[in-house]
């Protein structure tokens, strides 16, 4: 008789385990994953539960530090699914800081092969940027972006005709302020993925230029940017974007000034060079890494 009771008890336990885990409770983790289960015990530090994949007589366990929410009495549409991505959308605000290497690919330079090495070294520099974006939907948002980059070089030169000795020097800064549109190609943003961004803005260009005598060149015009980034997830709401992009503009509104000691013929020569090279194109390729925070 005791043997029959044991068999009946075992059958009852198996049926209860299979049917019980088909629908009762849901555990939502801090990664926004959900676990369909039957919670058997809750303690101060752990929650004990069973799922359809739990072995007979065993109990799964999860730390309360990993649990965001516990929902009881939920009936999943598919009892075979014990874990799935949560459709919750909470990461609406994004703030990013990034920087890296920038290469100028189109500028107005002195048309002389003698200075090719000079411009090759000058056209490489560093850039820094900050973004703030509001996500209207899970995969689309808009905001603002601010970028700063700098390029410089200097070399001593000598005019063979006049014997004049001085410097050829550039100290260029490019400031960009724009509207930024973001498309996230990853549906579950708690994981790593690819995102695209782009938009239009205004660019302020300055160059403390020197050709034997100092000149201050200033420019202001509209510009654009396009970026592609792989967003690496390091913890909930924190990502490291690895980015490559293009940022540039063509400047028609260029002004320059010189000190009163500049010879008139030199000032006229520089003015003619600037006018002949309008619009001044300043396009640059950017690669970099940053930090992205969402909430």
pLDDT, tens digit (0-9, with 9 covering 90-100), for 94-120: 999 999 999 988 666 655 567 888 888
pLDDT of residue 107: 67
Domain 93-294 = CATH 3.20.20.70: no
3-state secondary structure the chain: CHHHHHHHHHHHHHHHHHHHCCCCEEEEECCCEEEEEEEEEECCCEEEEECCCCCCCCCEEEEHHHEEEEEECCCCCCCCCCEEECCCCCCCEEEEEEEEEEEEEECCCCCCHHHHHHHHHHCEEEEEEEEEEEEEECCEEEEEEEEEEEEEEEEEEECCCCCCEEEEEEEEEEEEEEEEEEEECCCCCCCCEEEEEEEEEEEEEEEEEEECEEEEEEEEEEEEEEEEEEEEEEECCEEEEEEEEEEEEEECEEEEECCCCCCHHHHHHHHHHHHHCCCEEEEEEEEEEEEEEEC
What is the predicted pLDDT for the residue at 290? 97
Q: Note the pLDDT of residue 8.
A: 42
The answer to whether the predicted template modeling score (pTM) of the entire model surpasses 0.85 is: no
Q: Locate 121 and state its tokens.
A: 């070294």
Q: Tell me what pLDDT residue 190 has.
A: 60
pLDDT at 11: 42
pLDDT of residue 162: 74
Highest CATH level, class, for 2-85: mainly beta
Q: What's residue 175's pLDDT?
A: 93
pLDDT of residue 12: 40
d(CA 74, CA 54): 19
Q: How far apart are CA 62 and CA 276, in angstroms?
A: 71
Domain boundaries, the chain: 2-85, 93-294
The low-confidence residues of the chain, meaning pLDDT below 70, are: 1-23, 74-90, 106-113, 187-190, 277-280
pLDDT of residue 19: 43
**CA 283 to chain CA mean position, Å:** 20
């Amino acid at each position: 008789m005791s043997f029959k009771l044991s068999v009946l008890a075992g059958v009852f336990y198996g049926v209860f385990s299979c049917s019980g885990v088909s629908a009762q409770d849901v555990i939502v983790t801090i990664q926004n994953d959900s676990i369909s289960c039957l919670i058997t015990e809750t303690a101060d530090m752990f929650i004990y539960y069973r799922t359809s994949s739990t072995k007979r007589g065993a109990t799964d366990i999860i730390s309360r530090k990993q649990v965001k929410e516990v929902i009881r009495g939920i009936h999943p549409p598919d009892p075979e699914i014990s874990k799935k991505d949560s459709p919750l959308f909470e990461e609406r605000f994004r703030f990013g800081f990034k920087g890296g290497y920038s290469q100028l690919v189109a500028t107005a330079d002195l048309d002389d092969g003698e200075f090719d090495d000079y411009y090759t070294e000058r056209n490489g520099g560093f850039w820094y940027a900050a973004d703030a974006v509001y996500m209207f939907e899970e995969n689309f948002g808009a905001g603002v972006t601010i970028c700063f980059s700098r390029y410089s070089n200097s070399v001593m030169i000598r005019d063979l005709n006049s014997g004049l000795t001085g410097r050829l020097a550039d100290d260029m800064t490019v400031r960009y302020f724009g509207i930024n549109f973001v498309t996230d190609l990853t549906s579950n943003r708690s994981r790593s993925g690819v995102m695209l961004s782009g938009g239009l803005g205004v660019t302020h260009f300055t160059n403390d230029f020197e050709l034997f005598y100092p000149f201050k060149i200033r420019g202001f015009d509209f510009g654009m940017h396009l970026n592609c980034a792989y967003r690496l997830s390091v913890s909930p709401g924190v990502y490291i974007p690895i980015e490559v992009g293009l940022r540039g503009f063509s400047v028609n509104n260029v002004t320059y000034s010189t000190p009163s000691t500049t010879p008139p013929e030199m000032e006229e020569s520089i003015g003619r060079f600037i006018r002949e090279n309008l619009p001044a194109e300043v396009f640059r390729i950017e690669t970099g890494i940053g930090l992205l925070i969402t909430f």
